[in-house]
Amino acid sequence: GAGVSQSPRYKVAKRGQDVALRCDPISGHVSLFWYQQALGQGPEFLTYFQNEAQLDKSGLPSDRFFAERPEGSVSTLKIQRTQQEDSAVYLCASSLVPGTTDTQYFGPGTRLTVL
Amino acid sequence: AQSVAQPEDQVNVAEGNPLTVKCTYSVSGNPYLFWYVQYPNRGLQFLLKYITGDNLVKGSYGFEAEFNKSQTSFHLKKPSALVSDSALYFCAVRDGINKFYFGSGTKLNVKP
């Protein structure tokens, strides 16, 4: 399909392991966003890319979280030394152009469980 | 800072009846407001947005939302609810080009 895809859909990690979550945005979309959604809560902003440039990473909760989008399309969110509090659904969204009126389209998310 | 509030954790309505899911916002500057719906184990799906213009915004699946500047509200409405509308609904406000602030969500239960 033509939507945003994310992989894996589910990930179980032991505390202390590193994980990598992948996002494939809609083709041609310039903007890419990562969100963290805790159980029973709304999504919370993590970071934003415009093409390959990471313009805002103010929402990343610690230096264990790292995101990249080296070629301006696929993005990877990496979490090092996972902790139980990292358990959440990680959502990726993309939009066609940067702008306050543009609509974000979301992927299905990756549910991360840290044991 | 921008924020939205969804005062109801859950809304129950009978199929065929009108539904309203409430949202209030706090912004500095022009409000850019959105509604999304989330079905179990799926990502958020865009329903509608208010940027400027008519206060009544029409969106997907028969939903509409009414923007009220004096009450700083953006309530989601539908004239006749369907059982298939049962889901989690999120209101959001956009801050600049790169951030959305989401409400905590309202679970809509439509009973046959």
Q: Is the pLDDT of residue A23 over 70?
A: yes
With H, G, I as helix, E, B as strand and everything else as coil, classify residue B21.
strand
pLDDT band with cut points at 50, 70 and 90 for residue A100: low
Which residue, chain included where needed, has tokens 């008519």? B54
Where does residue B105 fall: left (phi above 0), alpha (psi -120 to 50 degrees), or beta otherwise?
A: left
Q: Do A43 and B97 touch (CB under 8 A)?
A: no
User: Do A108 and B90 lie within an 8 Å CB cutoff?
Assistant: no
Per residue in B67-103, pLDDT (tens digit) is: 999 999 999 999 999 999 999 999 999 877 678 899 9
Instruction: Test A42 with B103 for CB contact under 8 angstroms.
Output: yes
By Cβ distance, the residue of B51, B94, B102 closest to A43 is B102
Task: Note whether B18 and B81 are within 8 A (CB).
Answer: yes
Distance of CA B61 to the CA centre of its chain: 13
Contact call for residues A44 and B102 (beta carbons, < 8 A): yes
- What are the pLDDT digits (tens) for B1-44? 788 999 999 999 999 999 999 999 998 888 889 999 998 877 89
Q: What are the phi and psi torsion angles at B87 (to 5°)?
A: -175, -175
Pairing of strands B19-21, B3-5: unpaired
